[in-house]
Chain A
Amino acid sequence: MSSEWPLWEIFVRGQHGLNHRHVGSLHAPDAGMAIRNARDVYTRRNEGVSIWAVRSADIAASAPGDKGPLYEPANTKVYRHPTFFDIPDEVGPM
């Protein structure tokens, strides 16, 4: 059995002005083929206007176990949301 083609993560920009979003992955021998394959696999129905392909091995990810230390501190900082502050109606829109 020959060596398997590397895995790529595919990101598609759905419409002009939007971020690229992760849509899935596929195997391809190189970046050019990854984009061609992504076109066939992920945009058969006008789902996108731009494709990014990134080698899966090159993605750094946070560990599931780090969820607490990474995200919980934000829970106590409600003042980061505008609704924390009461502004009187007389002031007008703000």
Chain B
Amino acid sequence: MYAQLVKSTGEGVKSRDEMTGEERAFQDRIDAGEKIEPRDWMPDAYRATLIRQIGQHAHSEIVGQLPEGNWITRAPTLERKAILLAKVQDEAGHGLYLYSAAETLGVSRDELIEMLHSGRMKYSSIFNYPTLTWADIGAVGWLVDGAAIMNQVPLQRTSYGPYSRAMVRVCKEESFHQRQGYAIMMKMAFGTSAQKRMAQDALNRLWFPSLMMFGPSDAESVHSSQNMAWKIKINTNDELRQKFVDQTVPQAEYLGLTVPDKALKWNKKKGGYDFSDPDWDEFFQVLKGNGPCNRERLDARVTAWEDGAWVREAMVAHAEKTRAREIAAQ
């Protein structure tokens, strides 16, 4: 998902007998549906896992601005441009909510940014794919934000208070993103034959990368079961992927577009679609840094950070000077 392959540092779920008194009291609070707040006691592994997960989520929001930002200057109408600007600004906001939530766990903003830039922290694999045409902006909103919503809606119930509250805020804003994407797709799919071809082409290229967003199957993973016991993770990757496919296929049919999967078939018995797995080798290659746009994305982030350094410093200097002047005047 926006946080893919988050490994907890623990060795799987401890039985109640193996837990210390503090750990048992902590697990009881989570089981009772209580929220954990920043100053409450928490296991080190819970803290470390959350920093990784929320950090990765925040980085995804920020890096996710880049493929869409690519089209702001080339949006087909002024209205589309204003809408896209608003959406990209929302993504910046989502990143900020999430960075703030991560910081309550004792990591600083600068540390988080440094970890992204040095490659020690990841962001979602999906943003390493290019947005080649305007139809891609539609497909990103429809599929990528759609997949993000699948993951973020249950995370509103996550056990860590600040993360949960950030998710509530994000979810409120996210459905605008998906609907604006689908509205672009409708315009294209019901437009000229060239526009329809572009829409189909965007779906062809982004379908499997969108399925990868949920991460590989983790039903057997010890990390996953610990994260689920801590309510850091609410559903398995496969559950969310299935839900996403079931919801999205009829939306593609409405557009008159074909999902690029020959194995896609309604399975009456399970009440959901059967579908092909994405190419997991490609997924791991993209995570390793070998996707089509990894270098470009990270370079853009680092350049923005370095080029903005003098502004950040100047504003601190200005704030200090103003404060000194106020003190002198008193």
Contact = CB atoms under 8 A, between A and B. Distances in A.
Interface of A: 1-5, 7, 24-27, 29-30, 33, 40-41, 44-45, 61, 63-64
Contacts of A24: 97, 100, 165-166, 169
B318 interface: yes
How many chain B residues sit at the interface, stated as a range, is 20 to 34
A41 B169 CA distance: 11
Interface string B312-326: 110110110011000
Interface in B79-122: 86, 89-90, 93, 96-97, 100, 103, 108-110, 114
Contacts of A5: 312, 315-316
Interface of A is mostly: loop
Contacts of B37: 64
Chain B contact residues, majority secondary structure: helix
Interface string B299-330: 00000000001001101101100110000000
Contacts of B166: 24
B93 A44 contact: yes
B262 interface: no
B268 interface: no
Contacts of B173: 45
Contacts, number: 52
Contacts of B315: 5, 29-30, 33
Contacts of A3: 316
Given A4-B109, A29-B318, A44 B309 contact: no
B39 interface: yes
B253 interface: no
B90 A44 contact: yes
Contacts of B309: 2
Contacts of A33: 315, 319
B313 A64 contact: no
A23 to B, nearest CB: 8
Given A27-B109, A29-B318, A1 B313 contact: no
Nearest to A31: B319
* Most chain A CB within a 10 A radius of its CB, from B41, B86, B96, B165: B96
A30 B315 CA distance: 8
A37 to B, nearest CB: 9
A4 B39 contact: no
Contacts of B89: 40, 44
B39 A61 contact: yes
A27 to B, nearest CB: 6
B281 interface: no
A78 to B, nearest CB: 24
A4 B108 contact: yes
A29 B100 contact: no
